[in-house]
Amino acid sequence: MAVSQIEMMEKYVDVFQLGARNMQNFNLLRAIGETRTPVLFKRGMSATIEEMLMASEYIISGGNTRVMLCERGIRTFETATRNTTDINAIPVLKKLTHLPVIIDPSHSTGDSAYVSAVAKAGVAAGADGIIVEVHHDPAHAISDGKQSLTPEAFAKMVKQVKSGGGSGGSSFGSATCHSLTLISQSPRSPSSDWD
Among 84, 97, 150, 176, binds a second copy (CB under 8 A): 84
d(Cα 102, Cα 148) in Å, to the nearest integer? Answer: 18
Judged by CB under 8 A, the stretch of 7-15, 46-54, 145-153, 181-189 that binds a second copy is: 46-54
Which residues are CB-neighbours of 106 under 8 A, at least 6 positions away? 112, 115, 131, 132, 133, 144, 147, 148, 149, 185
> Does the protein bind a second copy through residue 125 (CB under 8 A)?
yes
24 or 150: CB nearest a second copy: 24
Helix 89-96 to helix 49-60 angle (10° resolution) is 40
Contact 25, 46 (CB under 8 A): no
> Does the protein bind a second copy through residue 124 (CB under 8 A)?
yes
> Does the protein bind a second copy through residue 81 (CB under 8 A)?
yes
Contact 68, 99 (CB under 8 A): yes
Residues binding a second copy (CB under 8 A)? 2-4, 21, 24-27, 45-46, 48-50, 74-81, 84-92, 94-95, 108-109, 113-114, 117-118, 120-126, 160, 163-164, 166-167, 170, 172-173, 191, 194
